[in-house]
Amino acid sequence: MSNTKELKLNSLLIHGGIDGDETTGAVNVPVYQTSTYKQDGLGKNRGWEYSRTGNPTRAALEKLIADLEQGQYGLAFASGLAAINTVLSLFKSGDKLIVSDNIYGGTFRILDNVFNNFNITYKIVDTSDLAAVEAAIDDDVKAIYIETPANPLLTITDIRAVSEIGHKYGKKIIVDNTFLTPYLQRPLTLGADIVIHSGTKYLGGHSDTISGFVVVNDKETADRLYYLQNAIGGVLAPWDSFLLIRGIKTLGVRMDRHVANAGRISEWLAGSGYVSKVYYPGLKTDPGYETNRKQADGAGAMISFVLDEKYDYKVFFEKLNLITLAESLGGVESLVCHPATMTHAAIPADIRKEVGIVDELIRLSVGIEDADDLIADLEQAIKASAKV
């Protein structure tokens, strides 16, 4: 399809990128399960040479994610962290990044224990506090790396305001958009320079494939990223690219249900008397509510809460029946996790406590099951965890 840019988002999910197969008329992009391509003569290829460098199934997906984010250039990786690794490889020894204070644990780990070794350093800042962001900028800072909603406290950062501050000083703005997906939030249109995804989560949507993405508008950054993608080699395989294209087709209908369920569950939790705190930017009482509403089309489906001290969180996890205790998020099934010992265990205990990732904190990835069943499961597990 030639004019996909004119389509609305719900149509782009189905027809964006490279739609179907020109050669055979197949309505789905074929899985080009090949490592290499026949060359017609020395220096004469048909646009494809080697599948680390380029693969037609991956290319269709890369164009699709770019269309969805309203960006020019998309890149697909074997995992979200392979995408993050490639983006961080844009920087040089001596460079510094400002990062949101509650980011994905693996992002913290690669900064702290890998890039730190190459003297690419980071400074943790509450990026929802714009004055703090501006105060943290110095000559060594080359980029501001944010997640909004951030993991696991769902803190909201104003993407447009941070972009304006960063650009005033010539810094790049990087946004990990995993939690909302382009269906609900498109950071490039708000001023960000680089968008990152773990495609493992809502984009794939079925908890069956690990993947990651980067999308940018600027040609120079894109060229460097394509160079790094090929040089580092953490590319997404053809079959996994197919699965992601397949998953993205239903992103809109899934997200609508995810968000509706999360809205109901967050309100139920907040009024239940079972919890001392609920973090969800879709609640009117949440400090990030207004900013999120301004920049996104929904609050997503990640909820964190702190069980009241009358209940034992360890027992709570064991008593759940329908909701599964597991790492990850964004699948059709509801998952629950314990950030302090699971997703955010890589963050030192003192920093964890400082940012509010207490031991009683529970993170819920709300799936697309019936909300009544989810609420019933939460309620029976909480009641069964009452301390005697």
Ligand X SMILES: *Cc1c(COP(=O)(O)O)cnc(C)c1O
Active-site residue 176, yes or no?
Answer: yes
| Residue 365 sits in the site that holds ligand X (CB under 6 A) | no
| Residue 59 sits in the site that holds ligand X (CB under 6 A) | no
Interface residue with ligand X among 104, 213, 280, 311 (CB under 6 A) is 104
| Residue 229 sits in the site that holds ligand X (CB under 6 A) | no
* Residue among 200, 163, 177, 151 nearest 297 (CA): 177
Of the residues 142, 201, 254, 363, only one is catalytic, namely 201
| Residue 286 sits in the site that holds ligand X (CB under 6 A) | no
Q: Tell me how far, at minimum, the Cβ of 320 lies from ligand X, in Å.
A: 21
Nearer to ligand X by Cβ, of 137 and 357: the residue is 357
Nearer to ligand X by Cβ, of 269 and 302: the residue is 302
Which of positions 298-317 make contact with ligand X (CB under 6 A)?
Answer: none
* Residue among 277, 166, 254 nearest 203 (CA): 254
C-alpha span between 295 and 298 (Å, rounded): 9
Q: Tell me how far, at minimum, the Cβ of 78 lies from ligand X, in Å.
A: 8
- What is the distance of C-alpha 339 from the center of its chain? 16
- Joined together, the tokens standing for residue 163 give 């972009």
Of the residues 104, 122, 145, 183, only one is catalytic, namely 104
Interface residue with ligand X among 57, 85, 155, 178 (CB under 6 A) is 178
| Residue 81 sits in the site that holds ligand X (CB under 6 A) | yes
- Asked whether the beta carbons of 188 and 72 are under 8 A apart, the reply is no
Q: Which residues contact 303 (CB under 8 A, 6 or more apart)?
A: 154, 262, 265, 266, 269, 278, 279, 280, 363, 364, 366
The one segment of 41-49, 100-108, 132-140, 182-190 that binds ligand X by CB under 6 A: 100-108
Cis geometry, peptide bond prior to residue 152 (ω within 30 degrees of 0) = yes
Nearer to ligand X by Cβ, of 128 and 385: the residue is 128
Q: Tell me how far, at minimum, the Cβ of 174 lies from ligand X, in Å.
A: 11
- Joined together, the tokens standing for residue 376 give 């019933």
Nearer to ligand X by Cβ, of 80 and 187: the residue is 80
Q: Tell me how far, at minimum, the Cβ of 122 lies from ligand X, in Å.
A: 15
Task: Give me Rg for the CA atoms of the chain.
Answer: 21
| Residue 16 sits in the site that holds ligand X (CB under 6 A) | no
Interface residue with ligand X among 16, 80, 205, 367 (CB under 6 A) is 80
Interface residue with ligand X among 9, 210, 232, 351 (CB under 6 A) is 210
* Residue among 4, 32, 13 nearest 239 (CA): 32
| Residue 212 sits in the site that holds ligand X (CB under 6 A) | yes
Beta pairing partners, 50: 36
C-alpha span between 212 and 234 (Å, rounded): 10
| Residue 176 sits in the site that holds ligand X (CB under 6 A) | yes
- Joined together, the tokens standing for residue 351 give 């920093």
| Residue 240 sits in the site that holds ligand X (CB under 6 A) | no
What is the per-residue burial (b if ≥16 Cβ within 10 Å, else e) of 203-241? bbbebebbbbbbbbbbeebbeebbebbeeeebbbbbebb
Say whether 213 sits in a helix, a strand or coil: strand
Active-site residue 363, yes or no?
Answer: no
Nearer to ligand X by Cβ, of 104 and 279: the residue is 104
- 285 class by beta-carbon count within 10 Å (0-12 exposed, 13-18 middle, 19+ buried): exposed
Nearer to ligand X by Cβ, of 18 and 347: the residue is 347
Q: Tell me how far, at minimum, the Cβ of 388 lies from ligand X, in Å.
A: 36
* DSSP one-letter string for 94-115: T-EEEEESS--HHHHHHHHHTG
- Joined together, the tokens standing for residue 180 give 């909302």
Interface residue with ligand X among 51, 100, 151, 365 (CB under 6 A) is 151
| Residue 296 sits in the site that holds ligand X (CB under 6 A) | no
Interface residue with ligand X among 20, 30, 54, 106 (CB under 6 A) is 106
Token pair 């309620």 is at which residue?
379
Q: Tell me how far, at minimum, the Cβ of 36 lies from ligand X, in Å.
A: 27
Which of positions 183-202 make contact with ligand X (CB under 6 A)?
Answer: 198, 200-201
Residue positions annotated with a catalytic role: 52, 104, 176, 201
The footprint of ligand X (CB under 6 A) covers 79-81, 104, 106-107, 147, 151, 176, 178, 198, 200-201, 210, 212
